[in-house]
Amino acid sequence: MFRTAELKRKLPKEHYHQQVPQLREDLLMVQMELRAAAFPVIVVFAGVDGAGKSETVNQLHEWLDSRWLVTRAYGEPSDEERDRPEYWRFWRQLPAQGRIGLFLSAWYSTPILDRVYGHTSEAEFDGRLERIKAFEKTLADDGALILKFWMHLSKNAQKDRLRKLEKNPLENWRVSKRDWQHWEMYEQFVVAAERTIMKTSTGQAPWKIIEGYDERYRSTAVATAIRDAIRFRLNETAKASGGNGGADSARSKAPVPETDGLPAVTILSRLDMSQTLEKVDYDAGLKRYQAKLNQLQRVAREQKISTILVFEGWDAAGKGGSIRRITAALDARDYQVIQIAAPTDEEAAHNYLWRFWRHIPRAGRVTIYDRSWYGRVLVERVEGFARTREWQRAYAEINDFEAQLVERGIVLLKFWLHITPEEQLRRFKEREQIPYKAWKLTEEDWRNRERWADYELAVNDMVEHTSTQKEPWTLIEANDKRYARIKVLHTLCERLEAALAGISNHKVAKIAKG
């Protein structure tokens, strides 16, 4: 893949000065058009040390309008980043629609370095490359334009480049002992690079190899590729949307899908909705499980084990009441409740998972989602806010997202609170009569009842596709509020206890006995 010949591609100075004025004008024009478009541009720079990655990014900032550029470079993760899954720091810094993001030492850097230094096997390396492919596919499927540049030098050219930088008083800070160490390991880096490019260069996110020796050549080659790719996408988007640039079409409501009715038996229809709990048993259970949860969470915080709770369910199913019984047992400094509603303009300008990645808790903390990323396969599916291809691929995207949480050691619990249509109607009418609850009841709640069968089918598909061995759904029979709340608390304590069981800690054993 990488040529062994001493090719040092150059662009003569006179040709460079002839090309640059028009190139800069073109870049600014496509950037201006992009601002009104419904997709972001993600540009990834990787390659050998000394190949001009940083210098190229600096040049792009000079040629483009920096106000609409997002540039991110990654070093060793901070304590805050180590507390969370690896991709948290990348997700939260993705550019919004209409902007260009330039990424240095991003999601390719650590996997390649770990492989070169022998910290991972080839199979582990391939697994991490597959995770990268899944990440980029999620972004590309959502419309992101992804461009990846591998800035390359031959070994001799890299040596010349590093020496040249060292001799320049203004540039010698760029060269470190580590750069020379990597030069000694050049062959290992080439092997890892070739495998990386072979495994992750896809139609949606292709690699382009750029000779990095001559700064005039590499800058114009990268800038031209960015200009042409954005221009092509803008033209394609305009054709597809009838000439409005795609800004409206991406947010338009899809036709509401028609259903052929419910299956004879659904996952929800099999639940025993007659489950109840007497008040005396409820009071005793509430006291017991809240005390146990309090103790377990304090140990979890000491051990830096995070918890994420997802609450989904019918309107008036008791999600808020169950959440309050959980938070009553916790220190307010340890948890955050995230109420999910229609996305804000900022959230709508990013991939739908972006706003959920932002709220991943630090180690030892608890985040509770009152409604969640499952909106993509529930309300967005049923109401037509997501097109069929969008909610169908979301199952795999959600499974990958949750797998990353669990791999990081986060305890993830997903609750669906189920009530019957009759019980929901009773609660709606009750809410109408109680002043401090009436605000909860909206016209949308009444309208959603008319599509009960569509929602039940969506829930059935959701559980079938996303209830995995490591991230199972817990279905709560919630016609009786007392029964539902105790089942939620019992399940949470049970899962936390299991997560802490592997820790040699007398506190956990004492709690379990209690």
Domain boundaries, the chain: 33-244, 279-513
Q: How many CB atoms lie within 10 A of CB 402?
A: 20
What pLDDT does residue 256 have? 57
Kindly state the percentage of the chain with pLDDT values over 90: 78
What confidence category does residue 443 fall into, taking pLDDT thresholds of 50, 70 and 90? Answer: confident
pLDDT for 245 equals 45
Q: Which residues make Cβ contacts (< 8 Å) with residue 185, sequence separation at least 6?
A: 116
Per residue in 269-325, pLDDT tens?
999 999 999 999 999 999 999 999 999 999 999 999 999 999 999 999 999 999 999
What's the gap between Cα 35 and its chain centre?
23
Instruction: Return the DSSP state at 362.
Output: P
Classify domain 33-244 at the CATH superfamily level. P-loop containing nucleotide triphosphate hydrolases (3.40.50.300)
Q: Is the pLDDT of residue 512 over 70?
A: no
Q: Compute the average pLDDT of residues 186-203.
A: 95
| Residue 409: closest CA among 362, 370, 373, 462 | 362
The pLDDT of residue 63: 97
pLDDT band of 513, cuts 50, 70, 90: low
Q: What pLDDT score was predicted for residue 251? A: 47
Does position 167 have pLDDT exceeding 80, yes or no?
A: yes
Beta sheet of 366-370, edge-to-edge order? 335-339, 366-370, 307-313, 411-418, 473-477
Angle at Cα 53 formed by Cα 51 and Cα 54, nearest 5°? 125
**pLDDT exceeds 80 at position 7:** no
Average pLDDT over every residue of 162-190: 86
Percent of the chain with pLDDT over 70: 91
Q: Is the pLDDT of residue 34 over 90?
A: yes
pLDDT band at 218 (very low <50, low <70, confident <90, very high): very high
The CATH class, in words, for 279-513 is alpha beta
Indicate whether 5 pLDDT > 70.
no
Q: What is the model's pLDDT at position 259?
A: 57
Same topology, domains 33-244 and 279-513? Answer is yes
Instruction: List strand residue ranges (DSSP E) for 391-442, in order.
Output: 411-418
Mean pLDDT of the chain: 91
Cα dihedral: 473, 474, 477, 483 (round 10): -160
* 3 state DSSP class of 159: helix
Q: Going by C-beta distance under 8 Å and a sequence separation of 6 or more, which residues neighbour residue 339?
A: 370, 371
